[in-house]
Amino acid sequence: MRRRIIAIVFVVAIIAGSWFLYSRSRPVEPAAPEGIVTEKVTRGDVDALVRATGNLATESARSLVFSTSGIVSEVLVEEGDQVVAGQVLARLDTEDLELSLKQAQAALDVSEASLARTRKPASEEEIASARAAVEAAQANLDDLQAGASTRDKQLAKLAVDQAKNSLWGAQGSRDAIAGSPLSGGGSKTSAEAQVANAEVQVQIAEINQAKLYEPPKASVVASAQSQIASAQANLARLLSSPAPEDIAIAEAQVAQAKVSVEVAAGRLNDTELKSPASGELVSWDLHVDDPASPATPVGSMVDLSLFHVQVSIDEIEIAQVKEGQTVRITLDAFPDNQLQGTVAKIDPAGQNLQGLVSYAVRIDLDPTELPIRPLMTASIDIVVDHRENVLLVPNQALRRDPQGIYVEILENNTPTRVSVTSGVADEEHTEILTGLEEGQEIIVTRPRESLSLLGG
């Protein structure tokens, strides 16, 4: 047992001595310089930004006017009120316009009823009546063209004979009175008058008899023919109803009546003055019973739903800025909330102030729920480029010398220069295109005297 312990101690002593000799023979690595901080090359996304500052501004104030004339019946807001888009601010009296709308609607109802009647085919009774009218008109023409009947001629001859008999009787009475010595002057005069009247009656009867043998006048025949044509046209219309052209006319009348209703309804709707957008009434001078017209503004408002920022971009950076680019906006009043916007317009002319050339850029803000106000200070970051999943190094790791851009890595704990090609950069990181690999350790900071050894 004792010998075994001695042997174990002896073996341990030999191993310890061998390790001591081996460690003395290895080269000693130099210690890393004090104060050096390193980070690994990583992958990620990076945005190239153009930065500026400005102040929030609203669109110009909008005048508020009625779309039609009238007398104010209601005023629903006051100066300084906050209003929303579509809110009714005031109303005009609507009595006359409501009546006009009712009249237009009634005319539309009539037109629609007429259209329905036009589309309906003629009834059997209407067609039968039209046929009878044609036959009656034709019979009337036939009678005109045929002239007087035999019976009418006989009656006319009898009327002439009767008139002559009356004349002869009157003449006999006159002669008898004239030959009597007892007749006075008055009797003779009366007898002469009766003879004269009888002669006239004969002439009338003879004229009426002669008319029966005359042909009908052309105007009378033409009138009878016209009545036939009219009756035939009415019958044809009924037989072919509903006619496409009649339906088209009725439909056009309905369309016209609908337009009249829409116009009347639009005029009635125009009696309400509505806010064109959300904002604040900065001026408002309107009272009940005031006259209003489209030519006279009754107030003005500032739209608080549309904000923009006008910034100046240096000529060196303006080439990177394009309309439509995304913009990140931070307000001093709300530093923890990032707003979004878009480059809306770039001034093509620019301006030169004391030798510094810059260009005005308008940035429109996206809608936000924050209670933002005009003139708030805004920090603007215009995203002019975006790269995804690229090699990134901290900006403070980059160095520059006459040979170009480089970083330092530790080889055997000694800073060593490595040339790189850089790409897009933001406020913290820069994209590396060539020279490094993901995971490499690079020097981020180190003492100034160490940097001077490499000329950095």
316: helix, strand or coil: coil
Candidates 277, 301, 334, 316; CA nearest to 56 is: 334
**Contact, 296 vs 80, CB < 8 A?**
no
Residue 293 lies in a domain: yes
138 versus 406: the higher-pLDDT residue is 406
Which pLDDT tens digit goes with each residue over 81-123?
A: 989 889 999 999 988 888 998 999 999 999 999 888 878 877 8
Residue where a domain stops, chosen among 253, 269, 285: 269
pLDDT confidence tier of residue 282, bands split at 50, 70 and 90: confident
Nearest alpha carbon to residue 387 among 336, 430, 451, 340: 430
Residues 426, 401 share a domain: yes
My answer on whether 207 and 290 are in the same domain is no
Same domain, 42 and 107: no
Number of domains the chain is built from? 4
Paired strand residues for 357 = 352
pLDDT at residue 160, rounded to an integer: 87
346 belongs to a structural domain: no
407 with 440, same domain: the answer is yes
Could you tell me if residue 136 is inside a domain? yes
- Distance separating alpha carbons of residues 428 and 395, to the nearest angstrom: 6
Q: Which of 279, 301, 323 is the last residue of a domain?
A: 301
Q: What is the CATH number of the domain that holds 424?
A: 2.40.420.20
> 107 and 250 share a domain?
yes
Q: Which tokens belong to 311? A: 């910034």
The predicted structure's pLDDT at residue 11? 47
Q: Are residues 297 and 262 in the same domain?
A: no
Q: Which residues contact 145 (CB under 8 A, 6 or more apart)?
A: 216, 221
Specify whether 292 is located in the same domain as 153.
no
248 shares its domain with 172: no
Question: CA-to-CA distance for 160 and 213, rounded, in angstroms?
Answer: 15
pTM of the model: 0.46
- Residue 157: inside a domain, yes or no? yes
Residues 277 and 229 in one domain: no
- Structural domain includes residue 72: yes
What is the pLDDT confidence band of residue 24, given thresholds at 50, 70 and 90?
low
Sheet holding 299-303, edge to edge: 62-64, 299-303, 279-284, 82-83
Q: How far apart are the C-alpha atoms of 138 and 231, rounded to whole Å? A: 9
Q: What ranges in 62-123 are assigned the alpha helix state H?
A: 95-119
User: Would you place residue 16 in the very low, low, confident or very high pLDDT band (cuts 50, 70, 90)?
Assistant: low
pLDDT tens-digit profile of 329-378?
Answer: 999 999 999 999 999 999 999 899 988 999 999 999 999 999 888 889 99
What the block records as the tokens of 319 is: 């080439």
3-state secondary structure of 232: helix
β-pairing, 62-64 vs 399-401, is unpaired
Q: Torsion angle of alpha carbons 434, 438, 439, 444, nearest 10°? A: 50
On whether residue 363 sits in a domain, the answer given is no
Nearest to 146 by CA among 221, 58, 74: 221
Q: What is the pLDDT of residues 181-207, one digit of tens each?
A: 776 767 878 888 888 998 899 899 888
Looking at the structure, do residues 265 and 276 belong to the same domain, yes or no?
Answer: no
Q: Which residues contact 423 (CB under 8 A, 6 or more apart)?
A: 387, 390, 430, 431, 432, 433
What CA–CA distances, in Å, run from 157 to 152, 195, 202, 436? 9, 21, 11, 141
Q: What phi, psi does 319 have (nearest 5°)?
A: -65, -25
Q: Tell me how long the chain is.
A: 456
Shared domain for 141 and 177, answered yes or no, is: yes
Residues 107 and 191 placed together within one structural domain of the fold: no
Look at residue 344 and tell me if it is in a domain: no
* Domain span including residue 141: 124-240
Chain-centroid distance of CA 316 in Å reads: 42
CA-derived radius of gyration, the chain: 58
Is the distance from CB of 175 to CB of 192 less than 8 angstroms?
no
Q: What is the mean pLDDT of residues 156-179?
A: 86
Does 249 reside within a domain?
yes
CATH for 286: 2.40.50.100
Residue with tokens 């006048």: 217
CA 21 to chain centroid, in Å, comes to 94
- Domain boundary, last residue among 220, 240, 260: 240
Partners of 391 in beta bridges: 43
